[in-house]
Amino acid sequence: MNSRRLVTRYDAVAMSLHWLIAVLILFDFALAMSFSRFNPGDALYVPATYDLHMAVGLCVLILSVARVIWRLMHRPPALPDMARPLRWLARASHFLLYLFIVVAPATGWLVLSLRHRATSVFGLFRWAWPSLPALAAMPRPDRVFWHDQLLRLHIDMSYVGMSLVALHVSAALYHHFSRRDDVLTRMLPRRRNRLSANLARERSATEIS
């Protein structure tokens, strides 16, 4: 018997990390839009957004590293029956999403490190993000060069990542409303609806046979 088939839902830790990271990423992206697109005096400009963006990004990085470690230690539910290209696309999009949630905030951390700038953590205290010795010891012209490169990468990854998030949400809704499988519901808090119960019974019958 394939033990992977026994995993039909994400566990509570995976679900909690998934939804918390999702909310924080959307909030952090909105903060970035506020301080990068609007000027002081504009209606949608909030002075605290820059520091708040850095603090939320720190939380995203820590939670994302925890999410990746948890994913490596726990098998996720198997993909539903789909055509091979769709299965490949699902795996590739999941990998890219994991890459995004780690690398995007990590590049933001490196940018701050190159600036030698302390970060206000939700107004509670200021913390200088750990700087890699190689970055801290760079001459200023080199730091300026790498700062510009990494900032561009951080911005580009953010837009690409949000596009992946939109694709991810669209795929989940497609599975739920068109294919009527449990791809979406297995990432939601347990609520035994008729569809989930039927799918579970079908899987059990298949395994026994």
Mean pLDDT on 155-180: 94
The answer on pLDDT for 2 being more than 50 is: no
> Per the structure block, which two tokens stand in for 112?
């701050």
pLDDT at 156: 96
pLDDT at 82: 86
Going by C-alpha positions, the residue among 186, 179, 192, 174 that lies closest to residue 77 is: 186
The answer on pLDDT for 61 being more than 70 is: yes
Q: Which residue has the tokens 């690398």?
A: 103
Taken in order 161, 165, 168, 174, the sign of the CA dihedral is: negative
The answer on pLDDT for 206 being more than 70 is: no
The answer on pLDDT for 148 being more than 50 is: yes
Would you say 101 and 67 are in contact if contact means Cβ atoms under 8 Å apart?
Answer: yes
- Three-class DSSP category at 118: strand
Give the count of beta carbons closer than 10 Å to the beta carbon of residue 140: 9
The mean pLDDT of the chain is 84
The CA R_g of the chain, rounded to the nearest whole Å, is 21
How far is residue 76 from each of residues 71, 95, 106, 143, 195, measured CA to CA in Å? 7, 13, 25, 41, 20
- Pick the more confident residue, 47 or 151: 151
pLDDT at 173: 93
pLDDT digits (tens, 9 = 90+) for 12-40: 999 999 999 999 999 999 999 888 887 77
Residue 59: CATH number of its domain: 1.20.950
Mean pLDDT on 142-146: 92
Mean pLDDT on 142-166: 95
Q: Which residue has the tokens 């993000």?
A: 129
- Pick the more confident residue, 68 or 47: 68
**Where in the sequence is the domain holding 27, given as residue range(s)?**
3-208
Burial class from Cβ neighbours inside 10 Å (0-12, 13-18, 19+) for residue 102 reads middle
What gap in Å lies between CA 206 and CA 85, rounded to an integer?
24
pLDDT at 1: 40
Total domains in the chain come to 1
What gap in Å lies between CA 180 and CA 45, rounded to an integer?
42
Q: pLDDT band at 191, cuts 50/70/90?
A: low
pLDDT at 28: 95
> Per the structure block, which two tokens stand in for 120?
């206000």
pLDDT digits (tens, 9 = 90+) for 103-117: 999 999 888 888 876
pLDDT at 37: 82
- Pick the more confident residue, 196 or 9: 9
Report the predicted TM-score, pTM, of the whole model to 2 decimal places: 0.82
Work out the angle at residue 19's Cα, subtended by the Cα atoms of residues 23 and 104, and round it to the nearest 5 degrees: 60
Would you say 102 and 61 are in contact if contact means Cβ atoms under 8 Å apart?
Answer: yes
Lowest mean pLDDT among 8-12, 88-92, 144-148, 195-199: 195-199
